[in-house]
Structure 1
Amino acid sequence: MATGLLTDETADQIVTTCRTAVGDSLRSVTYFTRDDFEQLYLRDDLERDADLTSFIGHEWRGFKTAQTAYEGSELGDYEYTIRVFENGFLIRVTTDREGVFATTDGLTVKDFEEVAIGLESFLGERNRE
């Protein structure tokens, strides 16, 4: 699926990273920058009615706020965010240039860590290019 933001290969690599970590619990995957976004995956049993524009605005601001708020704290550098909802979870991994959020059904902390490590590695490689 060509997104305009990503090549087919890159989009597939992001989705594969998430699917490998959480399997059928994956609900959706969205790639975003400060100015644009593309939903890369949506599980077949879900409807395409989410307001992704609002999600992206919130997640981008949330990343910048968290990164600034905790900078220099004894907790160390900000890594990723997990949001818990009634019907699932959202994990956001972001760099200064781009990010990915994935939504899932119920997972363990270990599952989230696997998703985050995979996406951090992927985004880190892209930012070194």
Structure 2
Amino acid sequence: MATGILTDDAAEQIVATCRTAIGDSLRSVTYFTRDDFEQVYLREDLERDADLSTFIGHEWRGFKTTQTAYEGSELGGYDYTIRVFENGFLIRVTNDSEGVFATTDGLTVKDFEEVATALDTFLSERELD
């Protein structure tokens, strides 16, 4: 299913990347740009009732704010964000023009690092196209 902002192949690649790193703990995957978004995966036991436009606005602003706030600090460059909630986690990997966030059940820090690295590679390769 082409989304208008992603080809079928790109959407499938994002989902496969997340499923490989996260497995059955993957809840959802959303690709976004500054102007648009598409939920490319939602686990079948979940409702399609999240206000994604609000999530995207917050995640985009959050990326820009975090990137600016820590720029030049001894911590180094921004890599990714993990948010912890009562019923799961959200990982956001973003660059200057696009991003992906995935929601999950419980994961280890190593699992988050794996998926963040894989998604960053995906986004970097898209920039080169």
Identify the TM-score tier after normalising by the shorter chain.
over 0.9
Query: Residue 40 of structure 1: SS of its match in structure 2?
Result: strand
- Structure 1 consecutive aligned stretches of length 4 or more whose deviation exceeds 4 Å: none
Give 1:128 shift. Answer: 1.7
Question: Paired residues, what number?
Answer: 129
TM-score relative to the length of structure 2: 0.99
**Aligned equivalents of 1:121 and 1:41: distance in 2?**
19
Q: Structure 1: any 5+ residue segments left out of the alignment?
A: none
Give 1:2 shift. Answer: 1.1
Counterpart of 2:88?
88
**Aligned-pair Cα RMSD in Å:** 0.4
Give the letter aligned to residue 38 of structure 2: E
Q: Structure 2: any 5+ residue segments left out of the alignment?
A: none
Q: Within the alignment, does 1:72 sit opposite 2:99 as a pair?
A: no
**Aligned equivalents of 1:86 and 1:68: distance in 2?**
28
Give 1:41 shift. Answer: 0.1
**Aligned equivalents of 2:127 and 2:59: distance in 1?**
19
**Aligned equivalents of 1:3 and 1:30: distance in 2?**
11
TM-score relative to the length of structure 1: 0.99
Query: Residue 106 of structure 2: SS of its match in structure 1?
Result: coil
Give the letter aligned to residue 99 of structure 2: G
Give 1:11 shift. Answer: 0.2
Counterpart of 2:48?
48
Counterpart of 2:100?
100
Query: Residue 91 of structure 2: SS of its match in structure 1?
Result: strand
Give 1:99 shift. Answer: 0.2
Counterpart of 1:60?
60
Counterpart of 1:20?
20
